[in-house]
A and B are shown apart, each in its own frame.
Chain A
Amino acid sequence: MADEVEQQQTSNTVEEPLDLIRLSLDERIYVKMRNDRELRGRLHAYDQHLNMILGDVEETVTTVEIDEETYEEIYKSTKRNIPMLFVRGDGVVLVAPPLRVG
Chain B
Amino acid sequence: MEVTHSIRERTITENSLVVLLQGIHGHVTTVDLRDESVAKGRIVNVDAFMNIRLAEVLYTDRQGRATHLADFFVTGRNVRYVHIPDEVNIIKTIESQLQKIHRVRNFGGEGQGRKEFLKYKK
Residues of A participating in the B interface, judged by any CB pair closer than 8 Å: 1, 3, 5, 44-49, 51-53, 82-88, 90-91
Contacts and interface: CB of A to CB of B under 8 A. Distances in A.
B77 A90 contact: yes
Interface residues of B, number: 26
Contacts of A47: 15-17
Contacts of A82: 81, 83
A87 B32 CA distance: 10
A85 B81 CA distance: 7
A48 B15 contact: yes
Nearest to A57: B81
6 nearest interchain CB pairs? Answer: A84-B84, A86-B82, A51-B17, A47-B17, A47-B16, A3-B106
A85 B85 CA distance: 9
A40 to B, nearest CB: 14
5 contacts: A3-B106, A47-B17, A51-B18, A84-B86, A86-B84
B90 A88 contact: no
Nearest to B18: A51
Given A53-B17, A91-B34, A5 B102 contact: yes
B45 to A, nearest CB: 16
Contact of B16 (A51, A85, A87): A51
Contact of B83 (A49, A52, A84): A84
Interface in B60-78: 76-77
A85 B83 contact: yes
A35 to B, nearest CB: 8
Given A82-B81, A85-B84, 18 more contacts: A1-B103, A3-B103, A3-B106, A44-B90, A45-B94, A46-B17, A48-B15, A49-B17, A84-B83, A84-B84, A84-B85, A85-B82, A86-B17, A86-B20, A86-B82, A86-B83, A88-B80, A91-B80
